[in-house]
Structure 1
Amino acid sequence: MQRVLIVGSAGAGKSTLAREVARQLGLPVVHLDRHYWRPGWTVPDETRWRETVAALAAAPAWVLDGNYGSTLDLRLPRAELLVLVDLPWPLCLARVVRRRWDPRAAGRADLPAGCPERLDLDFLGYVRRYPRVSRPRVFAARAAHAPELPLVRLRSRAEVRRWLVRLPTF
């Protein structure tokens, strides 16, 4: 396995899981947030963003984490495995709130320089709506762009731990 795509709600643990999967498989990890955001949480030009994602996805090996539904069409066909970290939204919400004030979150490896951890009502709403709005978009994109792509759906912290123990057997 050379290309693993990890998606899920904010606070689900995508970046942490991506780092561990990359470590176990000896693959480079790519955090899309680091490539998307510009200092001060500035949004990039859509054309340049798609070019960036296409170049990242074209690499021969990666563990790539991040949602960015507008680019799933570029990433899904290149992936060999799709992992949906689908933890309950209240847990994800609690994690993003806790992470905001956790001093260990400063300088997170998955965020670019100039983008300190933030918390606002829009972001909290995104986390709350993820199961109803974004999760169905992931399934629809998979059906449209990579219907044969294997999917692992992890719905609890225990499932994540069990899956990681089995990971080297892929």
Structure 2
Amino acid sequence: MQRIMVLGVSSGVGKSSFSRSLADIAAIPVHHLDAYFWKPGWVESSDLEFSEKQQRLVEQDRWIIEGNYTGTYEIRRQKADTIIYLELPLAVCLYRVVKRRIMNHGKTRPDIAAGCPEKLDKDFLKFIISTYSARKIKMRKRLEQFIEESPHNQVIFLRNQKEIERFLKETAVELFSGSPTR
């Protein structure tokens, strides 16, 4: 487990926080795709620019890359050995997106490009709600395909906060320290 993709069913599922925690435990650098996609003032990178940035990232020996970005999924998938997928209920994701907006009002989160202060609008909430069910189906198919591609590929599917916490406190510690969990 050296090249890890962290995916999630939706914004607000906890991909960024999970990835930072995993990076601390595993001593593997984490890369947040939002920080590579967005430029100051919420300006989008071009498809070519965003793809080239990811091509350079995946050539590294060890990485955690967090973010869904369907259009460039294949770049990461081709080099990944592990996908960790977070799938929490829609209500939890929505709550967290609203909470994140309130907690980070006027601030730029560490997992996004400088000059992109936290924001939330009706269209973003509508996007989360309208794509949640279809994304669950699409993501689960991707996980199945990833396993079928190679016997060395690994998928870790975390369905609730308890599973996430247990994975970070026990499984990840054991995997990356080589010592038994307590």
Q: Shift of residue 139 of structure 1?
A: 3.4
Unaligned segments of structure 2, at least 5 residues:
176-182
Q: Is the 8 A contact 1:73 1:145 kept in 2?
A: no
Q: 1:4-46, CA deviations, whole angstroms, 9 ceiling, x for partnerless residues? A: 1101111111011001111101111101100000112111111
- Asked if residue 167 in structure 1 is aligned to residue 172 in structure 2, the reply is yes
* Distance of 2:167 and 2:117 partners within structure 1: 31
Unaligned segments of structure 1, at least 5 residues:
none
Q: Shift of residue 87 of structure 1?
A: 0.7
Q: Is the 8 A contact 1:76 1:146 kept in 2?
A: no
Equivalent positions of 1:1-170 (< 5 A) are 1-8=1-8, 9-103=10-104, 106-143=107-144, 147=148, 148=150, 149-164=153-168, 165-170=170-175
Q: Is the 8 A contact 1:22 1:28 kept in 2?
A: yes
Structure whose CA Rg is larger:
2
Q: Which amino acid aligns with 2:3?
A: R
Equivalenced residue count is 170
Q: Shift of residue 129 of structure 1?
A: 3.2
* Distance of 2:25 and 2:76 partners within structure 1: 21
* Distance of 2:130 and 2:84 partners within structure 1: 19
- Label 1:47 to 1:156 Cα distance change in 2 as closer, same or farther (>3 A): same
* Distance of 1:42 and 1:11 partners within structure 2: 21
Query: Which segment is superposed worse, 51-60 or 96-105?
Result: 96-105
Name the % identity: 32
* Distance of 1:150 and 1:104 partners within structure 2: 37
Secondary structure in 1 matching 2:136: helix
* Distance of 2:54 and 2:14 partners within structure 1: 21
Q: Is the 8 A contact 1:72 1:141 kept in 2?
A: no
Query: Which segment is superposed worse, 88-97 or 49-58?
Result: 49-58
TM-score, length basis structure 1: 0.91
Q: Which amino acid aligns with 1:12?
A: V
- Label 1:51 to 1:141 Cα distance change in 2 as closer, same or farther (>3 A): farther
